[in-house]
Structure formats: structure tokens, C-alpha cells
């Protein structure tokens, strides 16, 4: 007998404690001390996602494409570009959190999508973004030409107010 679709919970996701969730990823050692760094960790789900730039503009820990290490903030912001490969990669990463395969103590806060080009997304990509938004909080970062020339000192771009509020809330 087939079961119906699983229900997704929108918002921050913590790894479930239940053993019936399937195989878990190998656990990374985490420092459970209260001295853990406050804030959030940026994780790129593919190369060139923009993690270093976002960490420079919004603050937080740049974890590259790896999990937060001991002493790093355990609240994760997944970063992807808005091209097809980026949206596929972030979908897989969200699924890993949903299935409880993230390291113990690491929680998904939200997804940050960085524009891969100026202008509107093509319809098929926009539909994929809407599907992702139905499962998790998504913040959008527009195309910023100055970032190509290291214009990160100018601060957050217009249109990122929700991300500014999110990142300031956990500092």
C-alpha cells in the first residue's frame, strides 16, 4: 500500500531525533558548549554560489561548501544561484535537511538565492523558486553589478530587506 505525500514544514528545520527517518549522514563532532559562536553560517550548495560575498556584506560565518565546524554557528543559510544547476543543488540540500541527514545540531534557517544574471527569471526557473518557497523560507538577492568589481563595501543591495532583518536578528 502506498502512503500519501509527506507534509513539509515551512521555516527553520532541525534534524529530527527519530531513528526511523532513514540513514543519517556521518555525525560531525560539535562543541555543545554555550560558547558556540552566535549568528549563522553560510553554506554554498555549489561552487560560485556567492557565500564569501554574502558573508562580507551581511556578516556571519563563511563555511564555503562545508558544514559548520566546532564553534561555528549551527544555524545555516544555504546559498545557491538562480540558474538551473543552482536550484537543483539547493533542492537536494533542503531534502538532506528534511530527511535528517545534516550533522547533529545543525539546523536549516533559510535559503538564499543569488541572481545569476540581471533581469527576470525565465518561467521554468521562477516556477522552481516558487516550489522551493513553499517548503522553506527563501530570501532573494538581486544581480549586483558592483559585486563583480568587489563593491561589497557598499552594503546590502535594495530588495534584500528581509535578509537584512534575518541576519541582524541573529547577530
State how far the alpha carbon of 77 is from the alpha carbons of 11, 23, 65, 118, 146, in Å.
Answer: 12, 23, 11, 23, 23
pTM score = 0.77
Q: What number of other Cβ atoms are within 10 A of residue 143's Cβ?
A: 14
Identify the pLDDT of residue 146.
Answer: 87
- Check whether 147 has a pLDDT greater than 50: yes
Strands 138-141 and 107-114: parallel
Identify the pLDDT of residue 126.
Answer: 97
CB of 10 within 8 A of CB of 134?
Answer: yes
**Rounded mean pLDDT of the chain?**
82
- Check whether 85 has a pLDDT greater than 80: yes
| Of the candidates 119, 122, 159, 164, the residue with the CA atom closest to the CA atom of residue 141 | 159
Rg (CA), the chain: 16
Confidence of residue 169 (pLDDT cuts 50, 70, 90): low
Amino acid at each position: 500500500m502506498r502512503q500519501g505525500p509527506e507534509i513539509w514544514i515551512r521555516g527553520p528545520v532541525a534534524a529530527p531525533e527519530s531513528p526511523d527517518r532513514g540513514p543519517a549522514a556521518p555525525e560531525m563532532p560539535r562543541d555543545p558548549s554555550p560558547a558556540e559562536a552566535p549568528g549563522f553560517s553560510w553554506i554554498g550548495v555549489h561552487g560560485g554560489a556567492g557565500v564569501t560575498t554574502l558573508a562580507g556584506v551581511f556578516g556571519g560565518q563563511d563555511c564555503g561548501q562545508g558544514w559548520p565546524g566546532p564553534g561555528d554557528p549551527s544555524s545555516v543559510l544555504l546559498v545557491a544561484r538562480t540558474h538551473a544547476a543552482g536550484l537543483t543543488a539547493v533542492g537536494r540540500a533542503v531534502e538532506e535537511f528534511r530527511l535528517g541527514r545534516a550533522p547533529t545540531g545543525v539546523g536549516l534557517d533559510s535559503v538564499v538565492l543569488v541572481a545569476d544574471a540581471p533581469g527576470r527569471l525565465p518561467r521554468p526557473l521562477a516556477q522552481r523558486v516558487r516550489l522551493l518557497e513553499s517548503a522553506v523560507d527563501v530570501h532573494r538577492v538581486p544581480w549586483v553589478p558592483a559585486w563583480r568589481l568587489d563593491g561589497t563595501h557598499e552594503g546590502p543591495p535594495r530588495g534584500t530587506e528581509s535578509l537584512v532583518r534575518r541576519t541582524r536578528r541573529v547577530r
